[in-house]
Structure 1
């Protein structure tokens, strides 16, 4: 038994060396970082073959948006697939009066996405109460992420509304 163990111990290093020579070397190429491989917000439009009459935000700038290939300056209000200019130029100008259209719109959108400009802003209780009184939920985001969220929900066929200040707006 002792002789057998010595033989194994003596041949084991040679066996390991020969196996290392026969095995191909792994590819030493550096793998790309996955950190920036995909970001939901880098590409606003995620789904192709969306109907032509459906609004899609394709780009945003500091002063406006590109929707279905058309450039729009200033603030925008979207209800379903209806797009219109919107008066507020800064977040403090967003009031129940500026959103009063939602008292008459039917069907009532299930959610209102509020794009605050460059940064997310706190919504005053009066405005939150008004939005709840219409039957909508409220999602407050910076305008970049708000446009992406609007696209996704609209492409899913959900009844969604959005109010966007240009991305360059900050308090």
Structure 2
């Protein structure tokens, strides 16, 4: 603008040109300068928009959850189990479970659920375990995941588990422990409460 004023003064003094002509020239130069400034501002705006678009493509939006709620609910349902059934009372002939069901025969507890166990009866003067057959434990081949430990309750008194039964469970990857039925039931209750994968095979006190 200063350049235009000086130019106007020089032309008036030296050449005697009309003021209208000089004003027209300055007005034209001013419009060109404004147009150049406007173009520069538009270029900057376009560059900023382009840069913002590139940034948006480079950084994905963060999801509200790492796992969709529907999928998370499906996984929860898959692994959700009801409360484990434990042993509330041991009787001479059987057991009273924590869900108040009474069972008057040998019992297997597996994955928190009770199963009737058709164990061979004790012959007078003999321990019943010698007649145990692995067919009575085939259910352990079908469950998944398998328990990490099975507690054998051998009745009122402790008795060793037959070696072929122990080896059968070892091949399934299941550790074996045995004690009298009271201690076996108490141990089962504690470990099941802790969330351990544990099973129990329990004889009544009079077996």
TM-score, L = length of structure 2: 0.54
Q: Tell me the residue number matched to 1:53.
A: 83
Match of 2:166 in 1: 128
TM (norm. structure 1) is: 0.65
Matched with 1:85 is 116
Larger helix percent:
2
Q: Residue 66 of structure 1 aligns with which residue?
A: 96
Q: Is the 8 A contact 2:129 2:162 kept in 1?
A: no
Q: Kindly report which structure 2 residues correspond to 1:1-171, keeping only aligned pairs within 5 A, or say none.
A: 53-68=83-98, 69-88=100-119, 89=121, 90-169=128-207
Q: Which runs of 5+ in 1 are unaligned?
A: 1-50
Distance 1:153 1:95 in 2: 27
RCO higher in 1 or 2 (8 Å CA, sep ≥ 6)? 1
Task: Provide the C-alpha distance between the structure 2 equivalents of 1:82 and 1:93, rounded to a whole number of angstroms.
Answer: 25
Q: Do the aligned residues in 2 keep the contact of 1:91 with 1:165 (CA within 8 Å)?
A: no
Q: Deviations over 1:55-94 (max 9, x none)?
A: 1211101100010222111001110211111100333333
> Would you say how many aligned residue pairs link Structure 1 and Structure 2?
119
Structure 2 unaligned segments of length 5 or more: list them: 1-80, 122-127
Q: Which of these two proteins has the greater Rg computed from alpha carbons?
A: 2
Displacement, 1:163?
0.6
How far apart are 1:95 and its partner, in Å? Answer: 2.4
- Name the CA distance, whole Å, in 1 between partners of 2:84 and 2:142: 22
Higher normalized strand content (fraction of residues): 1
Distance, in Å, in 2 between the alignment partners of 1:53 and 1:128 is 29
